[in-house]
Amino acid sequence: MELLKQMCESHAPPGYEDEMIKLMKREFERVGASVQLDKLGNVIAKKGEGRPIVMITAHMDEVGFVVKHIDKDGFIWFIPIGGLYDPTIYNERVVLHGKEKVYGVIGSKPPHIMEEEELKKLPKWKSMFIDVGASGKKEVEKLGIRVGTPITFDREFKRLNENVVTGKAMDDRVGCRVLVDVMERVKDFKGTLYAVATVQEEVGLKGARVSAYRIKPDVAFVIDVGFAKSPGSEEKEIDTELGKGPIITYVEARGAGLISDPYLTKWLTEVAKKERVPYQVDVTTGGMTDGAVIAITGEGIPCVSIGVPCRYIHSPVEVVDIRDVRNTSKLLVKAIERGVPEVFPV
């Protein structure tokens, strides 16, 4: 739990993942893996030698913002980086990563002076700004804040009950936690196991493309978050839940994302049944993972997407069940130790 807390409270917007890079390097080395960083910033951990070559991945970056403009009064205008829903960022606390960490709040026009028609509309990010308490542009610049300064949510990791926790960046720090756990627990595997903590997933799956090209694995497992139902979502849209186990996703984004390899997927579900690991299955109409680019790297890589159920994805209050994180780790450890089969059709 403490390591997941450290991960979620680290700040790693796309392209500025340094805090998570250092943390993942430290943790991979702690569990006895050899570690390398590539030129883009992916953290690549390795154990074993020979074939098969198995790659498991999760991304380090989180949705955030970047400074677009600082006005004469010291208010900071920004653009979102990654898929943020405008109402979820309204009046949130943020951290601006200048020379030091600078804390601010996202403000907007007060409702007291809005026209009736304005009050009926959902807030848009273009009407929002960040207030760091400065009295002018020069004061902001003295804080080391410039156009291009990255920004993240300012949220603490909190336990809601014995099993359920909330915080920012559960997407995909839960996956990063699984990577460390799997690298620590896999003992009996004849082959090479790579765990890759990728960068820039939220802005085009960029790190995964680079790492898959470098490693050329025989198979890949992508760990990310998956949808968990909550009020407002119909069962026909989302029927996967917190506490019911990892989600094996057959199809992402109506096929625009990863279509998980059917042979590898069938084998993985059989492992889950034999090892009595609870699991769920899903197909999604939106959202995709690093698997979308890994699968089409080189001559093609059989790949499966595994999601930790999560509520309120891409918000500062994402919610997960720790039991799902543990069962995701358990499923991968059992699958890898059983030995990855040939997954190509005969």
* DSSP string of 212-237, one letter each residue: HHHH--SEEEEEEEEE---TT--TTT
| Percent with pLDDT over 90 in the chain | 86
Query: Do the domain assignments include residue 161?
Result: no
Tell me, yes or no, whether 115 and 142 share the same domain. yes
State both tokens at 156.
Answer: 């603490």
343: confidence class by pLDDT, cuts 50, 70, 90 = low
Domain end marker among 103, 121, 153: 153
Peptide bond into 52 cis (omega under 30): yes
302: confidence class by pLDDT, cuts 50, 70, 90 = very high
SS3 249: strand
Tell me, yes or no, whether 47 and 136 share the same domain. no
Long-range CB pairs of 32-39, under 8 A, 24+ apart, other chains included: 32/183, 32/184, 33/183, 33/195, 38/210, 38/211, 38/214, 39/210
Question: How far is Cα 48 from Cα 290, in angstroms, rounded to an integer?
Answer: 24
pLDDT at 305 over 60: yes
Tell me, yes or no, whether 132 and 188 share the same domain. no
* CATH for 119: 2.40.30.40
pLDDT recorded at residue 346: 42
Tell me, yes or no, whether 225 and 95 share the same domain. no
Query: Do the domain assignments include residue 331?
Result: yes
Q: What is the pLDDT of residues 149-169, one digit of tens each?
A: 999 999 999 999 999 999 999
Query: Do the domain assignments include residue 316?
Result: yes
Tell me, yes or no, whether 125 and 196 share the same domain. no
pLDDT recorded at residue 345: 55
pLDDT at 246 over 80: yes
State both tokens at 313.
Answer: 């994805």
Tell me, yes or no, whether 146 and 272 share the same domain. no
Q: Which of 109-118, 258-267, 334-343 has the lowest mean pLDDT?
A: 109-118
Query: Do the domain assignments include residue 162?
Result: no
Query: Do the domain assignments include residue 160?
Result: no
Question: How far is Cα 214 from Cα 104, in angstroms, rounded to an integer?
Answer: 40
Tell me, yes or no, whether 188 and 144 share the same domain. no
Query: Do the domain assignments include residue 159?
Result: no
Sign (positive/negative) of CA torsion 87, 124, 126, 253? positive
342: confidence class by pLDDT, cuts 50, 70, 90 = low
Torsion of CA 316, 305, 282, 233, to 10 degrees: 10
Domain end marker among 121, 153, 185: 153
State both tokens at 158.
Answer: 């909190």
Query: Do the domain assignments include residue 345?
Result: no
The CA–CA distances, whole Å, from 303 to 55, 212, 252, 257 equal: 9, 11, 12, 12
pLDDT at 266 over 90: yes
In a 10 Å sphere around its CB, with 0-12 CB exposed, 13-18 middle and 19+ buried, how is residue 38 labelled? middle
Tell me, yes or no, whether 174 and 283 share the same domain. yes
On whether the CB atoms of residues 148 and 166 are closer than 8 A, the answer is: no
* CATH for 192: 3.40.630.10
Average per-residue pLDDT in the chain? Answer: 94
Domain end marker among 114, 130, 153: 153
pLDDT recorded at residue 217: 96
Tell me, yes or no, whether 147 and 244 share the same domain. no
pLDDT recorded at residue 340: 79
State both tokens at 178.
Answer: 């699984």
Tell me, yes or no, whether 125 and 267 share the same domain. no
Tell me, yes or no, whether 193 and 333 share the same domain. yes
Tell me, yes or no, whether 105 and 141 share the same domain. yes
State both tokens at 136.
Answer: 């002018």
Residue count of the chain, please give it.
346
Query: Which amino acid belongs to residue 277?
Result: V
Nearest to 185 by CA among 25, 54, 331: 331
Q: What is the pLDDT of residues 69-103, one digit of tens each?
A: 999 999 999 999 999 999 999 999 999 999 899 99
What average pLDDT does range 121-148 have in this prediction?
Answer: 94
Name the residues annotated as catalytic: 201
113: confidence class by pLDDT, cuts 50, 70, 90 = confident
Query: Do the domain assignments include residue 346?
Result: no
Domain count, the chain: 2
pLDDT recorded at residue 193: 97
- Domain of 76, in residue numbers: 65-153
- Enumerate the β-bridge partners of residue 319: 166, 311
Question: How far is Cα 201 from Cα 257, in angstroms, rounded to an integer?
Answer: 13
